[in-house]
């Protein structure tokens, strides 16, 4: 767990594949909360400060409150296996602009398996977009399955890419066993308000000490093909608490669909 001191900001991670709108989502959060919260942003680009520059130019926050860290071409490592650079950047930002309410940490665009270590962030958002295809949410993965919030972004594009947003959200909700899913478009005020309310609720939990960082790490619930099975297979999860057909940690094969 991050060392939790009373002055420490809520550290909120934003992960997801390349081009799904992570920077844009952060800009949206900043725009809707900058008047009432003290915010800072850390970006993890492949090529240093591209995302930081985008956010600075968006004018949603003082440029000094947006910092970039290098990831050595390993955005995955920098948020999970060796979080040193991000931790130090978060501590510096919190010290230089004390007190901060929220530090948003944007991962470099990676693949579906990249999630934040619970030692780096208190909560994390995983971002997909409709343009990536309506079936992505169903494919699961640790971020999709277990992030604190799954955002299905760019819903305004759905008619142009032939994606059924309610179906995609329903698929995601199943993959997440009911955890929060939000269909978002920055041009849809109601969805932005919902995102804002979610951030405020997590911050409130963080301040009260009731929010516990969790690790999306283990495999998400997924489908096992089984020709003998009446439904052609079964869905299972590796959640420790779930009662299942096999032990969560026991070796087993995952048939490709």
Positions touching other proteins (CB under 8 A) are 46-50, 53, 69-74, 77-78, 81-85, 87-88
Closer to other proteins by Cβ: residue 46 or 170: 46
CA–CA separation, 21 and 19 (whole Å): 5
Closer to other proteins by Cβ: residue 7 or 256: 7
CA–CA separation, 16 and 150 (whole Å): 9
CA distances from 168 to 1, 17, 42, 193, 217 (A): 33, 17, 30, 21, 23
Could you tell me the smallest distance in angstroms from the CB atom of residue 70 to other proteins?
5
Q: What are phi and psi of 240, to 5 degrees?
A: -55, -35
Beta-carbon neighbour count of residue 157 at 10 Å?
14
Could you tell me the smallest distance in angstroms from the CB atom of residue 81 to other proteins?
6
Could you tell me the smallest distance in angstroms from the CB atom of residue 172 to other proteins?
32
Vertex 244: Cα angle to 241 and 249 (nearest 5): 75
Could you tell me the smallest distance in angstroms from the CB atom of residue 230 to other proteins?
45
Residue 8 CA neighbour count, 13 Å, CB half: 17
Could you tell me the smallest distance in angstroms from the CB atom of residue 85 to other proteins?
5
Beta partners for 13? 105, 124
CA–CA separation, 127 and 181 (whole Å): 10
Closer to other proteins by Cβ: residue 84 or 242: 84
Distance of CA 164 to the CA centre of its chain: 22
Identify the CA nearest to 177 among candidates 202, 154, 147.
Answer: 147
Could you tell me the smallest distance in angstroms from the CB atom of residue 47 to other proteins?
5
Closer to other proteins by Cβ: residue 50 or 177: 50
Closer to other proteins by Cβ: residue 24 or 117: 117
Closer to other proteins by Cβ: residue 119 or 235: 119
CA distances from 205 to 9, 93, 210 (A): 12, 22, 5
Beta-carbon neighbour count of residue 8 at 10 Å?
18
Could you tell me the smallest distance in angstroms from the CB atom of residue 63 to other proteins?
14
Closer to other proteins by Cβ: residue 8 or 154: 8
């Amino acid at each position: 767990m991050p060392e939790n001191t009373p002055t420490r900001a809520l550290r909120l991670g934003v992960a997801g594949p390349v081009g799904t709108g992570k920077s844009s989502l952060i800009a949206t959060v900043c725009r809707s909360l900058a008047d009432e919260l003290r915010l800072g942003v850390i970006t993890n680009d492949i090529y240093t400060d591209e995302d930081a520059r985008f956010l600075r130019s968006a004018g949603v926050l003082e440029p000094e409150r947006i910092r970039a860290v290098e990831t050595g071409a390993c955005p995955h490592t920098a948020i999970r296996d060796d979080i040193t650079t991000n931790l130090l950047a978060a501590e510096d930002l919190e010290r230089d602009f004390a007190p901060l309410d929220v530090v948003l940490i944007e991962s470099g665009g990676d693949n579906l398996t990249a999630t934040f270590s619970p030692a780096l962030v208190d909560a994390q958002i995983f971002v997909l977009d409709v343009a990536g295809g309506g079936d992505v949410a169903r494919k699961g993965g640790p971020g999709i399955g277990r992030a604190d919030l799954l955002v299905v972004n760019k819903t305004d594009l759905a008619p142009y890419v032939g994606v059924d947003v309610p179906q995609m959200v329903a698929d995601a909700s199943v993959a997440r066993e009911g955890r929060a899913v939000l269909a978002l478009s920055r041009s849809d005020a109601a969805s932005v308000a919902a995102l804002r309310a979610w951030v405020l609720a997590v911050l409130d939990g963080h301040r009260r000490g009731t929010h516990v960082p969790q690790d999306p790490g283990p495999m998400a619930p997924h489908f096992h093909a089984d020709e003998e099975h009446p439904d052609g297979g079964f869905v299972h999860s590796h959640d420790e608490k779930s009662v299942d057909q096999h032990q969560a940690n026991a070796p087993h094969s995952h048939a490709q669909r």
